[in-house]
Every structure is written in structure tokens, then in C-alpha cells.
């Protein structure tokens, strides 16, 4: 089975490839592409792909319509960091969606579903899709509060009281609007799967920002962006060129 991966996060790519090896020895990742435009060109030049894994956040990419046309004959499994984005995946020739952080059992089930669909008639396939859509609609909404620690004391923090999440050293923190730094026992990948994608955005590996705490956005070197937030972070917040387009879309471009 020849697989194409479209994902810009190196850690997510590595995790996906390692898990694919574990769940199915027939899977061969033929290429990894970090943006939708290149992925579209790849599919136009080569139809010899059995299955595509693609980050659903790329759904905001200006190339999305062209990409959709390019992959009409190739099944897609979407990887999503946000439950609210999952329904968008089914405008494509989609088999399933997986929430970040990736779980081995969910990936294995998605691969099994892909293989099963090859033997389904069209009416059966439509019934399967309907079941999946019902399942997505019943998913719980974004988390409204997060449990953090200050010393030995546990504190429940409402999502709208959070300025941003960040990682420093080997720990993850919540920065509150009152400029408190609270330790949270969750990786940013896990937090990203729980947040409201309308209010929060993962700008890089270190920060997930609340929209309301963003004060200014500056053009930076090589197509990057620099974001100014309040309260002040422990280091400058720089957004990569690849992620900058999605960030501008999220801001309302």
C-alpha cells in the first residue's frame, strides 16, 4: 500500500510513520510533503498513490479546492487537531479522521476501514459515511476548563481565562490573563486536540495563543510573522512561513 503524507509538523510525521510500521507491514510511505500546494502538484504528476494522510488544518490553505480535485480518486485519512474541523474532511474522498495526538488503536482502525471500503458497493459506502458523520456530530465539544498546578495546589482554569499555553524546558504551562504561570500535565499536542479552534491557535511548537490576547502581528524575515501578546511571553513568538498563511486566515484574512 503506497501512502503519501501531507503534514508540516516533523514530530507528527515521525509519530505517524512509526505507528504505521507497527499497525500494518504492507504500508509504505512513499513521500512526505509539508504543504498542500506541493501535494497537489505531486498528485497531478503521479496517480500511483493508494492512500493519503493529510493534516486537516491545511483545509484553510488557498490551494484546497485544487487539492480536492486532484485527490478525487484517492482515499484520504485526515489528521485533525480540532474536533470542530472534522466535519470539513468529508467534503473530500475521505475514509476517516484522526485526532491529534495520534493513537495507535485509532490509526489501526482507520487502516482497517480503508481496506474494508475497497470491497464495499457504493450504497454500502454511503451508509458507512453516514454513520461516521453521526459519530463526529456526537463528539464532545471543546474543553471549557483545564486542570493546572501551582506548587502542590490544583487549580481549575476556565478556557476564557487562559492567555496562552506554552512549553519551556520539559514542562508545559498555562499563562493566565492575570499573568500567572501554572503547570499543566498535558503536552501541547494533547491540549491542541481539546481547545476551541475558533479561540485558540497553535502558532508554533512552543505556543498556543488565545485570540483575545494578541495585540499586534508584524511581518518578519523570510515570510515569517512576529506576534505580540499580553501578558508578555518568556521569548519572542515567531510563526514560520508555512504556518503564517493559515494564521492569517484564522485571524480573518
- What is the CATH number for 128? 3.40.50.2300
- What is the CATH number for 178? 2.40.50.1020
Burial class (CB in 10 A: 0-12, 13-18, 19+), 182: buried
Are residues 80 and 155 both part of a single domain? no
State the pLDDT at residue 61.
Answer: 53
Using one digit for the tens of pLDDT, what is the confidence trace for 115-140? 877 655 445 555 555 555 555 544 44
Does the pLDDT of residue 65 top 80, yes or no?
no
Are residues 76 and 150 both part of a single domain? no
DSSP 84: G
Cell of 237: 513568538
Of the three residues 104, 137, 170, the one that is the final residue of a domain is 137
DSSP 166: E
Of the three residues 68, 103, 137, the one that is the final residue of a domain is 137
Domain of 167? 145-251
State the pLDDT at residue 140.
Answer: 47
Does the pLDDT of residue 59 top 80, yes or no?
no
Using one digit for the tens of pLDDT, what is the confidence trace for 171-200? 999 999 999 999 999 999 889 888 888 899
Going along 25-127, which residue ranges are E strands?
Answer: 28-33, 51-55, 76-80, 94-99
DSSP 206: S
Amino acid at each position: 500500500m503506497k501512502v503519501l503524507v501531507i503534514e508540516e509538523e516533523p514530530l507528527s510525521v515521525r509519530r505517524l510513520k512509526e505507528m504505521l510500521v507497527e499497525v500494518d507491514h504492507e504500508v509504505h510511505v512513499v513521500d512526505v510533503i509539508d504543504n498542500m500546494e506541493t501535494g497537489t502538484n505531486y498528485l497531478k504528476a503521479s496517480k500511483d498513490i493508494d492512500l493519503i494522510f493529510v493534516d486537516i488544518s491545511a483545509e484553510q490553505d488557498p490551494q484546497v479546492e485544487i487539492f480536492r480535485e486532484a485527490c478525487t480518486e484517492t482515499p484520504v485519512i485526515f489528521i485533525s487537531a480540532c474536533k470542530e474541523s472534522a466535519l470539513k474532511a468529508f467534503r473530500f474522498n475521505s475514509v476517516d479522521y484522526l485526532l491529534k495526538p495520534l493513537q495507535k488503536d485509532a490509526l489501526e482502525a482507520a487502516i482497517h476501514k480503508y481496506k474494508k471500503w475497497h470491497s464495499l458497493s457504493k450504497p454500502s459506502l454511503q451508509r458507512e459515511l453516514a454513520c461516521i458523520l453521526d459519530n463526529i456530530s456526537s463528539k464532545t465539544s471543546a474543553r471549557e476548563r483545564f486542570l493546572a498546578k501551582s506548587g502542590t495546589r490544583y487549580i481549575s482554569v476556565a478556557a476564557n481565562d487562559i492567555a496562552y499555553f506554552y512549553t519551556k524546558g520539559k514542562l508545559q504551562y498555562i499563562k493566565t490573563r492575570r499573568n500567572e504561570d501554572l503547570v499543566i500535565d498535558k503536552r501541547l499536542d494533547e491540549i491542541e486536540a481539546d481547545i476551541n479552534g475558533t479561540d485558540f491557535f497553535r502558532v508554533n511548537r512552543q505556543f498556543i495563543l488565545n485570540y483575545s490576547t494578541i495585540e499586534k502581528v508584524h511581518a518578519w524575515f523570510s515570510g515569517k510573522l512576529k506576534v505580540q501578546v499580553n501578558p508578555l511571553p518568556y521569548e519572542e513568538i515567531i510563526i514560520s512561513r508555512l504556518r503564517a498563511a493559515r494564521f492569517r486566515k484564522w485571524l480573518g484574512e
